[in-house]
Chains A and B, each alone.
Chain A
Amino acid sequence: MFEWFWNFIDELKFVFGEGRWELIVDGFLNTLKITAGALVVGIVIGILIAAVRSSFDKNKETMKLHGGAGYVILAILNAISKVYLTVIRGTPVVVQLMICYFVVFVSADDGVPVAIFAFGINSGAYVAEIFRAGIMSIDHGQFEAGRSLGFNYFQTMRYIVIPQMFKAVLPTLCNEFIALLKETSVAGYVGVMDLTKSGNIVAGRTFEYFIPLFTVAIIYLVMVMILSSLVGKLERRLRKSER
């Protein structure tokens, strides 16, 4: 009666036997490492770029009036940021990854840091635009209230605008993280054994495709579900003040 079940177990034993399950675990860990690393790099870059871009947009009128070196520096940084956004968002992530691995870091023997770098730089561009949209969505009155109390520009950002911005962009940010997690599946292009690659290797060795690929798919799905529910929890907690 349960023969199909025992057959399935036998199949699993065959596919993941002889230590092949360790490949999947290694791949899973690499995918986690790359995603987490790229996330941190992306958020740091995102905050910096968004800060430059929105400061420039908010202050260019008044700074032009007063002139000075500050305006010139900010204008240059803003121009650099724009070029970065255009190039990164205008080229495929696989190409960027391959350029990083085969051109920029030619002598790298471990692909994982290179992948973290490449995916981080890539994600940073998208995160920057999400943050900028968030900052722009905060009522200008909040900004004026902060300044009128005596906060300087950066304190106003730090204590008043960014906490509100973060709450507003959380769902979009979560979306970007999910996309990032799944995008790392192309890391195999530069010889990194991530989750997708490990599934592929197991399939290649056993000539069994169904089980390894579905295993990989399910692991991705579970990761995304855990991530979404964590962000959902955080969102509900931050939303407390709106009730």
Chain B
Amino acid sequence: MNDNALIKVVELKKHYTGGAVKALDGVNCEIQKGEVVVVIGPSGSGKSTFLRSLNLLEIPTGGQILFNGTDITAPKTNINKHRQKMGMVFQHFNLFPNMTVLKNMTCAPVTILKKSKEEAEKKALELLDRVGLKDRADAYPSQLSGGQKQRVAIVRALCMEPEVMLFDEPTSALDPEMVGEVLDVMKNLAEQGMTMIVVTHEMGFAKEVASRVIFMDEGVIAEEGTPDEIFGNPKSERLKSFLGKVLI
């Protein structure tokens, strides 16, 4: 493949308790700019660990992650600078409960990027408008529904103008009727060309939006391909049995 991959992962390992537990056991992959990669797999397969390793919320015990050609696992790398370029959305939203929606979105750009308050708020309101929450700018997170919280969490990450967005099961903690509104926002984001890596159980979303699907099992990438290949023509037995168990 080509060398200008945005993210290149080489033999990534994460072992616990001296190698007895292998959450990741040699993951290799490349992600190009503009790709929407959906990671699927049974629970415990290491997909969340993989995603969290990409911005070093989990420190890998072996292997390399190259981001724009620099090895971010090297001790000298400025982790904070790197994380600014990688937005992350969590399963449990993790909004700051003591701040309004607007403050949630502006505190990082103002403090870290040294943007003026006005500039940061203008940008935040613009983004809120895009996800249909402009009128909730002054609300506190506890006053929002789950779907609204997750939409705010997505635009909060976007306020830092990241190059990549990571989604760690963004709809798993939502009531069923709220899943759609969050997926719509993500679909929109994908259409605008954002590079996205999404860990999810929403197979419909994977089929429709993904440019590539990665199936993980037991800490490695067991199979990868376009959604048509993965869902229409699975090769490995493990993927077949996994797809047989999940409702599509």
> Is A144 part of the contact surface with B, judged by Cβ < 8 Å?
yes
Contact across chains for B83 and A149 when beta carbons are under 8 A apart = yes
Residues of chain A from 218 to 243 with CB closer than 8 A to chain B in the complex: 238, 240-243
The complex places the Cα of A65 from the Cα of B14 at a distance, in Å, of: 12
Residue interface mask B85-98, A partner, CB < 8 A = 1: 01110101011111
> Is B200 part of the contact surface with A, judged by Cβ < 8 Å?
no
Contact across chains for A150 and B112 when beta carbons are under 8 A apart = yes
Interface hit among A18-26, A30-38, A121-129, A156-164:
A156-164
> Is B29 part of the contact surface with A, judged by Cβ < 8 Å?
no
B: number of interface residues (CB 8 Å): 31
> Is A145 part of the contact surface with B, judged by Cβ < 8 Å?
yes
Instruction: Tell whether A243 pairs with B111 under 8 Å between CB atoms, given A145-B94, A148-B83.
Output: no
Residues from chain A with a CB closer than 8 A to the CB of B88 are 144-145, 148
Contact across chains for B84 and A243 when beta carbons are under 8 A apart = no
Instruction: Tell whether A148 pairs with B55 under 8 Å between CB atoms, given A142-B94, A241-B97, A241-B98.
Output: yes
Contact across chains for B96 and A151 when beta carbons are under 8 A apart = no
Q: Which residue of B lies closest to A152 (CB)?
A: B80
Secondary structure dominating the interface of A: helix
Contact across chains for A242 and B97 when beta carbons are under 8 A apart = yes
The complex places the Cα of A160 from the Cα of B87 at a distance, in Å, of: 17
Residues of chain B from 66 to 119 with CB closer than 8 A to chain A in the complex: 75, 80-81, 83-84, 86-88, 90, 92, 94-100, 107-108, 111-112
Residue interface mask A59-88, B partner, CB < 8 A = 1: 000100110100000000000000000000
> Is A182 part of the contact surface with B, judged by Cβ < 8 Å?
no
B168 to chain A, nearest CB (A): 10
Contact across chains for B98 and A163 when beta carbons are under 8 A apart = yes
Contacting residue for B94 out of A144, A155, A240, A243, CB 8 A: A144
Instruction: Tell whether A141 pairs with B94 under 8 Å between CB atoms, given A65-B61, A147-B57, A150-B108.
Output: yes
Instruction: Tell whether A142 pairs with B96 under 8 Å between CB atoms, given A66-B75, A149-B108, A149-B112.
Output: yes
Contact across chains for A149 and B75 when beta carbons are under 8 A apart = no
A162 to chain B, nearest CB (A): 11
Contact across chains for B59 and A65 when beta carbons are under 8 A apart = yes
Residues of chain A from 129 to 177 with CB closer than 8 A to chain B in the complex: 139, 141-142, 144-145, 147-152, 155, 159-160, 163-164, 167
Contact across chains for B98 and A167 when beta carbons are under 8 A apart = yes
Contact across chains for A145 and B90 when beta carbons are under 8 A apart = yes
> Is B212 part of the contact surface with A, judged by Cβ < 8 Å?
no
B85 to chain A, nearest CB (A): 8
Residues of chain B from 13 to 30 with CB closer than 8 A to chain A in the complex: none
The complex places the Cα of A240 from the Cα of B61 at a distance, in Å, of: 43
Contacting residue for B157 out of A149, A151, A240, CB 8 A: A149
Give 9 CB contacts A-B under 8 Å: A141-B94, A150-B84, A151-B80, A152-B80, A163-B98, A164-B97, A164-B98, A238-B98, A241-B98
Known: A159-B111, A160-B96. 14 other contacts (CB 8 A): A139-B94, A141-B90, A145-B88, A145-B95, A148-B157, A149-B108, A151-B112, A155-B112, A159-B107, A241-B99, A241-B140, A241-B142, A242-B97, A242-B140
